[in-house]
Structure 1
Amino acid sequence: MEKHKLPDLLMDGVNTAAGGRYNQVNINGVSRINGALSAHTCKCDGVMKLNGDLAAEEIEMNGNLNLKGNLKVGVMKLNGVLSGEGGLRGERCEMDGMLKLKGNCEVEELIGEGVFHVGGLLSAGVIEFGLHGLSEAGEIGVESLVIRKKGNAAWGRLLGGMVPKFKIGLQAKVIEGDTLDLEYTNAEVVRGGTVIIGEGCTIGRVEYTGELTVHPGAHVGKEEKR
C-alpha cells in the first residue's frame, strides 16, 4: 500500500461513509462505513460499524467496533468491545476489554485482560491474559499460554449485563502448546510440554511430555505422560 498517495478519512460526530483504501482513518463519534475498508492506520474514539472487511497496519480502538467481515491487522490496541462476524489475523493484539469473533483468531501475540469469545480456533505464539469474565474458544493452539484470574468490581459493573452471572473462567475443548500455565480453566483435553494446572481448573485429560504440576484445588480426570 502506497500510503503517501492515499487520501485520509476523517469523521467527527455522527456520519456515514463508503469503504475504500485510505492512508489514515480517524473517527470521533458514531460512524457507519458501508463496504470494505483498508488503511495504514485506523483510530476510533467512539462507535464504528463496518459492513465489510477491515485491514490496517495499526488499529487503535477506544470504544465499540462492530465488524461484519474479517479483520486483518499488524498491531491492534483495543480498549472496549470488538464484535466480528468473521475472524481475525494479525501480529499483536493488546486489549483491555472484550473480543467476540465468530471465526478463528490467529495472532502472534495476545496480551491483556478482559474477556474473549472465539467461535473457532484461537492460535497464537504467546498468550498472556487476565480473565475478568467467562472466556471461551473452540480450540486453543499456542507456543506459550498464561491464564490468570483478574476479576474486580469495576469490570463487574461493566460486564454484568453481557456475561451471565459474571462467571470468571476459560472454557475450551482442547488446549495445546509447548508451555501452558492455567488458572480457572475448564477443558476436555490439555496437551503440552511443561504444564501447570492451577487453582480452579477442571480438566478431563492432561497429556504432557515434560513436567506436570497440579494445584491441590484443581481437578484432573486423567494424567498421561508421553
Structure 2
Amino acid sequence: MIKSGLPDLVVNGVSTAAGGTYGNVKIDGVGKVSGDIDAKTIKANGVIRMNGAVKAEEMDCDGKLTVGGNLAVGRIRLDGLVSVKGIMSGEHLDLHGLINVKGDCEIEKFDGEGVFEVDGLLSVGTLNIKLQGRAKAREIGVESMVIRQVPRSVWSKLWSWMSTKFVPELQATTIEGDDIDLEYTKAQVVRGNRVVIGKGCVIDRVEYKTELKVNPGATIKERVKTGG
C-alpha cells in the first residue's frame, strides 16, 4: 500500500489524537488515539492506548501499548507490555517483554525474549522464544519452534518468588508442527514430524512421525509413532 503524500501524526506529552490514515506516526508520552489508524510506520514510546484497529507496515513500541481492536503489522518490535483486544497478524514479531492477545495470533516469524499469552490459536511459521515468565496459548500450530528458558537473574528470582506468573514455562493444550524442540513446557498433546522434548517438560501425549528425542528430565505419559 502506497502512503506517500499522506500527513504525519506527531503526539508529545499528554494528548489525544484522532484516528485516520497517515504516513508516519510518532507518539511520545501518554497518548490516546480514538478510532482506527492506518500508517506506514508507527513509533510509540510511553503509555499509549489505541482504541480502534491498527494497521502499519512497521511498528516500534517501547513502553505500554493497548490496542482496542485488531493489530496488523508487517514488522513489529515490542519492548514492554502490549495488549491486543482483537486478532493480531504480521510478518515478523520481535518481542522483548510481554504480549497478550485476546483473539488469534498469526505471525510468519516470532522471536525474542519475554512472555506471550494468546487466548486463541497461535499460528507461526518459525517460533523461537526465550521465556522470562509463564507463557500461554490454547493451541499452537508451527512449521518449526524452539522454546528455551532465559537464565535466571536477580530480577527473575525476585519476581518468581512473588508470583508464579513469572515462572518461565509454556502452557498449551495442543502443539503441532514439523520440527518441535521444547523445554519447560506443559501440554496435553504434542504432535510433529521431528520432536525434541527437553528438560522441564510435562506432556500427556506425544505423536511423532520420524524422530523423538526425550531428555531424562522430561515426563511423557504416552508416546505414539505415527510414521511408517
TM range (shorter): over 0.9
Kindly provide the amino acid, as one letter, of the partner of residue 33 in structure 1: V
Number of aligned residues: 226
Matched residue, 2:57: 57
Kindly provide the amino acid, as one letter, of the partner of residue 197 in structure 1: I
Check 1:109–1:189 CA distance in 2 against 1; reply closer, same or farther (3 A cut). same
Question: Given the two structures, how large is their TM-score scaled by the length of structure 2?
Answer: 0.95
Whether 2:199 is the aligned partner of 1:199: answer yes
Kindly provide the amino acid, as one letter, of the partner of residue 33 in structure 2: I
Distance 2:85 2:163 in 1: 19
> Residue by residue, what CA displacement relative to the aligned partner does 1:131-158 show, whole Å, maximum 9, x if unpaired?
0000000000000000001153365389
User: Is the 1:181–1:197 Cα contact (8 Å) retained in structure 2?
Assistant: yes
Whether 2:1 is the aligned partner of 1:17: answer no
Moved more, 154-163 or 121-130: 154-163
> Residue by residue, what CA displacement relative to the aligned partner does 1:49-74 show, whole Å, maximum 9, x if unpaired?
01110000000001111111010000
Check 1:118–1:8 CA distance in 2 against 1; reply closer, same or farther (3 A cut). same
User: Is the 1:133–1:159 Cα contact (8 Å) retained in structure 2?
Assistant: no
Structure 2: state its 5+ residue gaps.
none
Give secondary structure in 1 for the equivalent of 2:4.
helix
Distance 1:165 1:98 in 2: 12
Structure 1: state its 5+ residue gaps.
none
Matched residue, 2:130: 130
Matched residue, 2:219: 219
User: Is the 1:132–1:155 Cα contact (8 Å) retained in structure 2?
Assistant: no
Moved more, 31-40 or 163-172: 163-172
Distance 1:212 1:95 in 2: 29
Shift of 1:178: 0.2
User: Is the 1:133–1:151 Cα contact (8 Å) retained in structure 2?
Assistant: no
Check 1:46–1:180 CA distance in 2 against 1; reply closer, same or farther (3 A cut). same
Check 1:163–1:108 CA distance in 2 against 1; reply closer, same or farther (3 A cut). farther
Runs of 4 or more, structure 1, over 4 Å off, are: 157-163
Kindly provide the amino acid, as one letter, of the partner of residue 210 in structure 1: T
Shift of 1:162: 9.5
Give secondary structure in 2 for the equivalent of 1:52.
coil
Shift of 1:168: 1.4
Question: Given the two structures, how large is their TM-score scaled by the length of structure 1?
Answer: 0.96
Give secondary structure in 2 for the equivalent of 1:210.
strand
